Amino acid sequence: MTMGNPATFSDEDLPDLIAAARAGDQAACAAIYRRFVRPVFRLAYGVLLDRQDAEEVVQDSFAYAFRALDRYDPERSAFRTWLYTITMSRCRNKRRRKWLPTVSLAEMAEWLPGREPAPEAAAEQQGVREMIWEALGELSPKLREAVVLRYFDGLTYREMAEVLECPEKTAESRVRLAHEALYRILAEHREALFEGAFGHE
């Protein structure tokens, strides 16, 4: 199993990596880190809207996760969901200690590209993406968490409920409320393009 590039191993390899990391294999820990660091950063940055804070949360989350690997139970949740739960907890702690800063759309576009669009749609989707992230900063923290988990990390409502530590119906409700709020915020800014990018639940 190749450790150098996270794209060279599949989900089937993850249990072996976790077992090796539990046994103190630093190469396995490094491989897990490389595999999940980008989505974990995307989650942290989407919630906190601050690059430095997100980087601190990422480091703290991985450090805790590796210390707590013996407590991870694959029968209860997927590793990604478990890691996101740790990350979300630290995001909330960080958020409680400071006010959210002004959001830089250029920085968001650089660090949170989302799904790469087809070349012919790149310019249009980039414009939509920037408007969405600007509007995202106006959402309440709970609704922003729901949007990031659902649309940028692709979690199911069940997985969202685990990460957010709430009932599944509550996760669904937050996504619905986030949709309504975002449509309202973006009503004067190319609402049709936003609908094309996200669709309806």
CATH classification of the domain holding 77: 1.10.1740.10
| Amino acid found at 164 | L
Residues of the chain with pLDDT under 50: 1-8, 99-115, 117, 191-192, 194
For the record, the structure tokens of 13 come out as: 């390899």
Cβ proximity of 125 and 113 under 8 Å = no
CATH number at residue 186: 1.10.10.10
What burial class does residue 34 get, using C-beta atoms within 10 Å of its C-beta: 0-12 exposed, 13-18 middle, 19+ buried?
A: middle
User: Does residue 184 share a domain with residue 111?
Assistant: yes
Which range of residues forms the domain containing residue 46?
6-96
Is 177 part of a structural domain of the chain? yes
Residue 76 belongs to a domain? yes
Q: Residues 126, 71: one domain?
A: no
Domain contains 140: yes
Q: What is the pTM (predicted TM-score) of this model?
A: 0.69
Predicted local distance difference test score (pLDDT) of residue 83: 97
Among 8, 87, 11, 3, smallest CA distance to 42 is for: 87
> Considering its fold, how many domains does the chain have in total?
2
* Structure-token pair, residue 118: 């087809």
Task: Say what the pLDDT of residue 123 is.
Answer: 58
Instruction: Return the pLDDT at 189.
Output: 61
**Cα dihedral across residues 193, 198, 199, 201: positive or negative:** negative
pLDDT at 182: 82
Question: Are 48 and 94 contacting, i.e. CB atoms less than 8 angstroms apart?
Answer: yes
What are the distances in angstroms from CA 71 to CA 65, 66, 119, 142?
9, 10, 44, 27
pLDDT of res. 185: 80
Whether residue 170 sits in one domain with residue 130: yes
